[in-house]
Amino acid sequence: MLLAALAMAGVAVTTSIGGQGGAVRDQNVKTALGVAESGVEQGLLQYNRYGLVPDTAPCAPVGGTAPDAEGWCPEVSGTTVNGGAVSYRVKPTSTEMSGGKIAWTEMEVVSVGTLAGVTRRVDVTASSSAGQKMFVNATVKSKDGINVASNAEIHAGSATNGDINLEGLQCGAATVGVGKGLNGKGGYFSDIDCGTAGGEPGEDEIDLPPVNQGGAATENDNYRLFSLDQISGNKNTACFNGLNGTGKADKSCGARELVIGHNSSVTLGGGVYSFCKLRMDQNSSLYIAEGREILIYFDSPEACNYSSGATQLELQSNTRITPLAGKSGSAALLFVGSPDRSTNILLNSNTSVEEDVVCQQNFVIYAPYTDINLDSNTWFCGAMAGKTVNLKSHAEVWTSSGVQEFFLPLVAPHYEPTRFVDCSAVVVTGSPSEGC
Amino acid sequence: MARIRERAGVLRRSEGGFTLIELLVAATMGLVVVGGAVTVFIGAIQSQSRTSTKITAIQQGRVAVERVTRELRQGADVTTATPSQLSLITYVKQSPCGGAAAANAKACRVTYACTTAECTRTVQEPTPGSAATTSPLVTGLASGDVFTYSYSSGESQPDYIGVELSFGTQGGGPVVIADGTTLRNAGL
């Protein structure tokens, strides 16, 4: 009997040891996963601190040799994190820009973490906005959703990761987020002339990587205001960087804030500007000098010392952003934004961005962290991408012929993760991303 | 005659036994030892049953929690978030969703529904209303309140989801297996 009791006790002890072993294994699994994720961070860090990736040597940031036939760079290993071994491989993907220039706009990182015989693999896709052709398939894009009020119209392809709430018209092929839908009583057509019923919209994931402004915050053409980029109208009502058009101190604008007072206009003739805010009062205009292709960066709310909810572009009623009459020109308004502090763009009633009714210019608003609001009777020609896009009554968005060829500026890329997959733990002998 | 007496004395010494008191004490001690052993044996048998139940619960819970947290970790968009039900878009190695196993993952809608008896897992294509495959995930729960959610300020989507499986056992408290994870694809 004593032997039986001892046997029972032995079973209990064995069970206890087994249970503790399971707990240790659970802990090792978590650590191995963390180790694998640290490999992804290492890979992204190598690229984000490298600068412009050479056209012909995309593996330079992680080793300097050419990728294999499938595009994978050599394995990087030999480091230890939290006692676990980490190794990773990177697969950069390029976009060919105009003039044959290569932009390495996307990368995939497969990382393996191993600790005490426990292996975990993760696969992360990351992208950079630098050199991306953002508006190939759709010229109205939104991360979180598109809202079209009654009598508002989009005459362009639209894409969002959220829903499209449609009370007006969506004329142009639309895609919604995976598992999302097109809701409302509005009309959906597959062509921009609203001729063919659209049926059910497609479902797809879109990627709107954040704006990388490079050194634009300090290296820009802001100095031209208002000496070379002159004011037409009342110079006392225009203000930039704390000074009005006559050079006197003016509290109506702060650092890198441009205010164009009512009935005044400013003509931009530089190449790159960096603003915190642009406010155009009633009946004011911002002209693009002939032949100019202007980039206007709007810095992050943190850099501008703005609290959450700041409006960084405000066009009051009857304002215009347009080339000089009869001339060509284009402008891209790029908003750095912030994932932590919300920002807004407000196009008030009766404003226009490119007022030529044939809509031929390349006007772009790219603001992945910013809500874009088009008030009633607003007219916009070009392409826009925002956190949300909201059209109120009688607002219209049209696409221009050339805007699909617009590339975001090629600066040193900054890759941000866009997709995470927890792969099967087994390391296969085929492609590094197999089983992910 | 003397030899006979000597012989009798030897026999008396070799036949020396226990006194009655010694016997009683020995018998009592024996009973105590045997009684203790019997008690230990019975206790061991009874606890073995409870231990076995708990081991089963722990193993079942570990597998289920590992499976759930793995899918939550890859989660992108939570559409239902209550203590007993969770629906989200995540990556599943099936093609189509709910169908045959596939080498690589694709976005699917996964729904966990829990009661005081069990949790089920339903997989379907992301589009609401699409065909679904439901299977039991874990049984023997003591509570259907399994999920907890943490939100960043102003966000409608949870950025951290806790999972707590509580199993009822015979005697003693419930066995609780808990874990949690951030959604790596949320907001990407």
Is B73 in contact with A422 (Cβ distance < 8 A)? yes
Query: pLDDT by residue (tens digit) across B5-24?
Result: 676 666 555 667 888 888 89
What is the per-residue pLDDT for B90?
95
Q: Do A178 and B107 touch (CB under 8 A)?
A: yes
Q: A203, B127: Cβ pair inside 8 Å?
A: yes
Q: Are strands A182-183 and A163-166 parallel, antiparallel or unpaired?
A: parallel
Residue entry with tokens 């949320």: B186
Out of A5, A29, A179, whose CB is closest to B37?
A5
Q: CB distance from B50 to chain A under 8 Å?
A: no
Top residue of A3, A6, A8 to mutate, by most chain B CBs within 10 Å, is: A8
pLDDT at position A239: 95
Chain A closest-CA separation from residue B16 CA (Å): 32
Confidence band, pLDDT 50/70/90 cuts, at residue B68 = very high
Peptide bond into A407 cis (omega under 30): no
Taking residues A245-265, report their average pLDDT.
93
Collapsed DSSP state (helix, strand, coil) of residue A304: coil
Average pLDDT, chain A: 89
ipTM of the complex, rounded to two decimals: 0.77
Q: Which long-range contacts (CB under 8 A, 24 or more apart) does B59-62 make?
A: B59/A22, B60/B138, B60/B139, B60/B140, B60/B167, B61/B138, B61/B165, B61/B167, B61/B175, B61/B177, B62/A22, B62/A26, B62/B177
Nearest CA-CA distance, residue A76 and chain B, Å? 23
Yes or no, beta carbons of A12 and B40 under 8 Å apart: no
Q: Which residue of B has its CA nearest to A433?
A: B104
**Between residues A78 and A360, the one the model is more confident about:** A78
Region A375-404: mean pLDDT is: 88
Which of B54, B72, B104 is best to mutate for the A interface (most A CBs within 10 A)?
B104
Cis ω for the linkage preceding A92 (within 30 of 0): no
Q: Report yes or no on whether pTM surpasses 0.80.
A: no
Residue A5 near chain B (CB below 8 Å) = yes
Q: What percent of chain A has pLDDT above 70?
A: 89
Yes or no, beta carbons of B44 and A5 under 8 Å apart = yes
Rounded CA gap, A73 and A92, in Å? Answer: 8
pLDDT value of residue A408: 87
- Indicate the residue type of A8: M
The closest CB to that of A9, out of B44, B58, B77, belongs to B44
Give me the residue from A179, A418, A422 closest to B70, CB to CB. A422
* Nearest residue to A146 (alpha-carbon basis) of A178, A182, A114: A182
The whole-angstrom distance between A179's CA and the closest CA on chain B is 4
What gap in Å lies between CA A12 and CA A6, rounded to an integer?
10
Tokens of A82: 């939290």
Instruction: Select the more confidently predicted residue: A137 or B153.
Output: A137
Whether the predicted pLDDT of A423 surpasses 90: yes
Query: Tens digit of pLDDT for each residue in A172-194?
Result: 999 999 888 999 999 999 999 99
pLDDT of A421 over the 90 cut: yes
* Angle between helix B20-73 and helix A2-48 axes, rounded to 10 deg: 20
In chain B, at which residue ranges do the beta strands (DSSP E only) sit? Answer: 77-81, 85-95, 100-114, 118-124, 132-139, 147-151, 158-167, 175-182
Residues 6+ apart with CB under 8 A from A43: A62, A76, A88, A90, A107, A109, A111
Q: Which residues of chain B from 56 to 75 reach within 8 Å of chain A, CB to CB? A: 58-59, 62, 66, 70, 73-74
CA–CA distances in Å: residue A254 to residues A140, A247, B10, B105? 31, 14, 124, 50
- A426 touches B at CB < 8 Å: no
Q: Which residues pair with A81 in a beta bridge?
A: A84
Q: What is the pLDDT of residues A39-64, one digit of tens each?
A: 999 999 999 999 888 888 999 999 87
Is pLDDT of A302 > 70?
Answer: yes
Q: Identify any residues that bridge with B110 across adjacent strands, giving them in sequence order.
A: B88, B123
Residue A64 contacts B, CB cutoff 8 Å: no
Residues 6+ apart with CB under 8 A from A334: A211, A213, A295, A296, A297, A298, A364, A366, A367, A408, A409
> What residues of chain A, 169 to 198, have a C-beta less than 8 Å from chain B?
177-179, 181
User: Which residues in chain B are contacts of A19 at CB distance < 8 A?
Assistant: 55, 58
Could you tell me which residues come within 8 angstroms of residue A115 by beta carbon, excluding any fewer than 6 positions away? A28, A31, A32, A35, A82, A83, A84, A85
Q: Pull the structure tokens for residue A96.
A: 């060919």
Question: Under a CB-based contact definition with an 8 Å cutoff, are residues A61 and A47 in contact?
Answer: yes
